[in-house]
Chains A and B, each alone.
Chain A
Amino acid sequence: MISLGLLTLRQRRFAVAAITAIAALASVVIVVLNHMVAATPPDLVGARPWLAYGDLTWEVLYFPTGFGALVAVFVGAPLVSREYENRTHVLAWSQDVRPRRWLAGHVLFLAGLAVLLSVLLSLLTIDLLGTLEHVLGARYPIDPFDAESFDASVPVMLGHTVFGFALGLAFSVLTRNTLLAMGLTLVGFVGTRMFAAVVLREHYLPPIRTWRADSPEPYIPQVPADGRRVDSGVEFVNGVRGHFAEFQTADRLGTFQLIETGLFLLVAAGLLGFAFWWVGRLRRI
């Protein structure tokens, strides 16, 4: 397997060099920004001083996500289709090493590298987020269920990256056309990620539900400040008019992140299984 990994390195040195360089560049940007934000004068802490760096800070928080997309589109999607297009699959798969093992070598090496790099980016982003939270102070809390904080987690990032890679590979195997596979992977990856973030995420566990009878007293929000509202509205209970609220609390964040990781890894396993089954259908005599 190590030998096959070295083979992958040799054969795909361009892709390997490119994603490593991009990850390195992104890391530098994150680290520099982190330093700039951390250097905020103490008297400005808690007063949104980081606005001086514009929206860039927020965008940087999406670097790991962007990197995952990059891996999916430029490493996963061309993996097999490029071989078909250059007809090198005939060369690669007619040797003693069977297609499945050949693919395993490539997947382990490339996905391993991608995961390693995305975990690095993820750790740096988590650090940056911590600095930001500190500088922003209690007046401007960051919603833990917002994408930038939810995704700032090593397991989540790992799940997303592996999923993206597997999605690209599956399309690569299915279409045998690099451009098509890249397009489908981009749409599929972004679509899935958005669907998870916007629709799925808040339903990973049944929300906490509260109800309070309406009263002339000033309204006290039922959803905690750091919680995520799922639903709310008017509801009559035993003929009494009141408001209900359904929400997720911040202390569930870790669990949710693990659930999302598990879901993405599960789908990734399915996609990888499909790719391996497909490639392995070639029968060696």
Chain B
Amino acid sequence: MTLRVQGLGKRYGDSWALRDCSFELERGRVTALVGANGAGKTTLLTMLAGVLRPDEGTVEARGRISFVAQDKPLYGHLDAGGMFQIARRLNDVWHQQRAESWARRFDVPLDRRCRRLSTGQQTQVALAVALGSRPDVLLLDEPLASLDPVVRRDVMRELLTEAADTGMALLMSTHVVAEISGVADSLVLLRGGKLVLSGDLDELMSSHSRYVGPPARTPPAGEVVHASHHEQQSAFLVRGGDRPGEPWVTEPVTVEDLVLAHLTGGGAA
């Protein structure tokens, strides 16, 4: 365990932005944090980063945490070199070379003021700052959002390599569900401020199935996560349950199916 979250909650006025959130991050593991806009992803990450005060619950961390916020805040009047100097003074551990090589790897000029860098380059400076401090837990809020597809792929590869090299735990929020498979080991899924699904991705995939068959109100087996009905057939995404026989067809569940089913959560309908 590198980081343990227990019953974490944050309230804005009368409404809870996040409630009853518990999960763990393990060393060297990559966890994808998914949820619709406003589901509480940023609230959760900001609390884990220690810049937002939780209203309830505890966070227990072993090691140092680094956070890259969604808008990648930087001091606009400083260049990347200046940002690194600041980060060096604000951290107990600092690897200048690591930060610089990241910036160089992604073609960020070290001597240009951050506000004059492109948004993509700003993202790279923010990532370089975070990685330079060699965290045990790296929290990334939509890290790839401002990057073009090629760079997205490269950044993801580099981040995974860093995670493999250093054993840091990585928790990243993302909207691009299609990119999770193979990248993330675990999933944390928020819906309406509640944690509705979390765990090892492979286990989640094998514990869910999709049954397609004749029109029916209930699935042949398992607990319904999402159901869709058409004139000639019903399809259920279920959790658990034994593989049903004729006339039901069992289809494999993709990560995207799994996530979208839990995000829309038509189970109760």
Q: Chain A interface (Cβ within 8 Å of chain B)?
A: 3-4, 6-7, 10-11, 14, 86-97, 102, 281-285
Contacts and interface: CB of A to CB of B under 8 A. Distances in A.
B103 to A, nearest CB: 16
A282 B89 contact: no
B133 A95 contact: yes
Nearest to B91: A96
Contacts of B92: 96
B157 interface: no
B52 interface: yes
A243 B184 CA distance: 91
A11 B49 contact: no
19 contacts: A6-B89, A11-B75, A90-B46, A90-B51, A90-B69, A91-B69, A91-B75, A91-B129, A92-B86, A94-B51, A95-B66, A95-B91, A96-B90, A96-B91, A97-B89, A102-B90, A281-B53, A283-B54, A285-B60
Given A93-B51, A94-B67, 7 more contacts: A7-B90, A10-B82, A10-B85, A93-B50, A282-B52, A283-B53, A284-B50
Nearest to A281: B53
Interface in B72-131: 73-78, 82, 85-87, 89-93, 126, 129
B53 A10 contact: no
A168 to B, nearest CB: 20
Nearest to A89: B51
A265 B173 CA distance: 47
B89 A3 contact: yes
A6 B61 CA distance: 30
Contacts of B64: 96
Interface residues of B, number: 36
Nearest to B54: A283
Nearest to B76: A86
B50 A283 contact: yes
B158 interface: no
Contacts of A92: 86, 90
Contacts of A86: 73, 75-76
Contacts of A90: 46, 49, 51, 67, 69, 73
Contacts of A87: 69, 71, 73
B8 to A, nearest CB: 10
Nearest to A88: B73
